[in-house]
Amino acid sequence: MPPESVVPPAVTDDDPGGRTVRRLVTVVALAAVLPALYLPGRVHDFFDLKIYMRAMRWWAAGNPLYDYAQPDRVQGELYFTYPPFSALLLRPFALIPLGATIAIFTILTVLGVVVTTRWLVRPVIARHGLPRVFVLTVAVLLVLAVESTRETITFGQINMLLVVLILADLLFAVPQGRRWAGVGVGLATALKLFPGIFIVYLLACRRWWAAAVASATAAAATLLAAAVAPNDSWRFWTHELWATDRVGRTDYTGNQSLFGLLSRFTAPDKPDRLIWLLLVAVVTGYGLWRAARAARVGDHLAGLTLTGLVGGLVSPITWTHHLYWFIPAVVVFADAALGTRPSNAAVPSAVGASSAAGPIGDQDLGRRRSLAVLAVATAAVIIYGVVTFYDWGVAPVHTDNPWQFLVRNTYVLLSLLLLVTLPARPSVPRPETSRPTAEPEKLHQMDRGPE
């Protein structure tokens, strides 16, 4: 009698216990790395926030707001440089202890990170069926690890408030055609001039109503500040706005703009303004052209990301903590690398389908691998950073060799690369899920942004 054949047990990947352990180890490992990344930033000791509060107390004592100045090791002297509307919002914090103000700003920044990261990754999770809690937790930890976030927290900056306003507007209100679309961008512009580039983006996208609302909101907030502080407002808009030397040394490595790159070639002299303006025109034209094209095919995240990168490049001063826009760029790369395809992609006919499928599949696979490499490389660069682990000194230094040029202008060069390579993902329908279809209204509301 022949021996019975023994069938080996089926191999299965269904190991929920092991999968949970691996995810937990990943989260714990990322959380454990964060303190080491934040340790160098302890020397900042909420430096910018302390300047804000000292300036507010100076102002509350009856002194002209823009006369406030304090010595600085790198920049020589630092001033309060924000528009008067920002001062109106910051002034109440001068009435409470500094420690409480630091705690409030830090908590609000972390909450802003959590909220905005959820807005960025939630559609990716839904499209690709990813584990929601795990992916969101990892994404938040990675955003907290990025140098721009670390610098925002350790300096006590207000950047995340601006990001919340801009993303709420451009990811939800504008695409949904809300009547109040543009208010967030307008308020952000009144608080800090950099977000004004997003009004230009709305115009490039032919979102006339939203652009008008944004402009009107910025003007109304500015006029409100002028009514409360007419002298300081007049001084800011007629003089201090144009005094770029008040913001800091443009050649310092922390200034990752085109003007900063040029300044590092000519330091201690200023670069040729004509060359800078020509570069600004080219970058603005090309970047906003790509941003508007992305918005037209339905990729609003890629559109606003490209616009943020343009703003960072063309602003005379773009400190590292201003460059949040690398974070959504990584999300766009990762989503495209996971295989997002246009909803109207051509389906091969039955005749000749087998011969066509191979090359097309190989080409798509190669493209997705390239996008994954760009996502990982961008994440690695922005986590390590430009200024965290280096002391760039207090004196102007020329850029003397290719390596120094690369290291001192990393974010500028990365921004230019992303302007060219960031993909625009045409709108795709959500994948079918196993959820019951009896609650369409509930599912619809879950996918909507803030009302």
Query: What is the pLDDT at residue 69?
Result: 87
- Range of lowest pLDDT (115-129, 134-148, 278-292, 418-432): 418-432
Mean pLDDT of 362-391: 94
- Tally Cβ neighbours within 10 Å of residue 393: 10
Of the two residues 433 and 224, the one the predictor is more confident about is 224
Per-position DSSP letters for 13-45, written without gaps between them: ---HHHHHHHHHHHHHHHHHHHHHHHGGGGGGT
Tokens of 341: 């395809």
Torsion sign (Cα): 418, 421, 426, 428 = negative
Mean pLDDT of 177-205: 97
Long-range contacts of the stretch 260-269 (C-beta < 8 A, 24+): 260/317, 260/318, 260/409, 260/412, 261/409, 261/412, 264/397, 264/398, 264/399, 264/408, 264/409, 265/398, 265/399, 267/396, 267/397, 267/398, 268/396
- Range of lowest pLDDT (106-110, 292-296, 325-329, 390-394): 390-394
d(CA 112, CA 30) in angstroms, rounded, equals: 19
On whether the CB atoms of residues 147 and 382 are closer than 8 A, the answer is yes
- Residue 383: pLDDT band (50, 70, 90) is very high
Q: Is the pLDDT of residue 266 over 80?
A: yes
Q: Is the pLDDT of residue 223 over 70?
A: yes
Average pLDDT, the chain: 87
Q: Is the pLDDT of residue 408 over 80?
A: yes
d(CA 294, CA 329) in angstroms, rounded, equals: 13
Nearest to 302 by CA among 340, 344, 333: 333
Which DSSP symbol is given to 278?
Answer: H
Query: What is the pLDDT at residue 447?
Result: 38
Q: Is the pLDDT of residue 359 over 60?
A: no
Strand 69-72 to 76-79 pairing: antiparallel
How large is the C-alpha radius of gyration of the chain? 25
> Which residue type is seen at 57?
R
Of the two residues 361 and 358, the one the predictor is more confident about is 361
d(CA 413, CA 406) in angstroms, rounded, equals: 8
Query: What is the pLDDT at residue 79?
Result: 87
Token pair 């992609």: residue: 345
Tokens of 275: 């060359």
Q: Is the pLDDT of residue 331 over 80?
A: yes
The model's pLDDT over 296-321, given as tens digits with 9 standing for 90+, comes to 999 999 999 999 999 999 999 999 99
Token pair 């823009």: residue: 66
On whether the CB atoms of residues 80 and 87 are closer than 8 A, the answer is yes
Nearest to 304 by CA among 322, 313, 292, 317: 292
d(CA 180, CA 450) in angstroms, rounded, equals: 12
For Cα atoms 365, 368, 371, give the angle at the middle one, nearest 5 degrees.
155
Q: What pTM value is reported for the model? A: 0.87
d(CA 311, CA 346) in angstroms, rounded, equals: 36
Query: What is the pLDDT at residue 443?
Result: 34
Question: In the Cβ-directed half-sphere of 128, how many Cα atoms lie within 13 Å?
Answer: 17
Q: Is the pLDDT of residue 66 over 80?
A: yes
- Residue 253: pLDDT band (50, 70, 90) is very high
Torsions phi, psi for 309 (to 5 deg)? -65, -40
Query: What is the pLDDT at residue 395?
Result: 72
Which DSSP symbol is given to 338?
Answer: T
Cis status of the peptide bond prior to 64, with omega within 30 of 0: no
- Residue 14: pLDDT band (50, 70, 90) is low
Q: Is the pLDDT of residue 441 over 50?
A: no
On whether the CB atoms of residues 33 and 145 are closer than 8 A, the answer is yes
Instruction: Provide the greatest CA pair distance for the chain.
Output: 106
Which DSSP symbol is given to 6?
Answer: P
The model's pLDDT over 121-149, given as tens digits with 9 standing for 90+, comes to 999 999 999 999 999 999 999 999 999 99
Token pair 């960025």: residue: 120
Query: What is the pLDDT at residue 244?
Result: 66
Mean pLDDT of 417-424: 97
Tokens of 298: 């339905």
Mean pLDDT of 207-215: 98
d(CA 314, CA 261) in angstroms, rounded, equals: 11
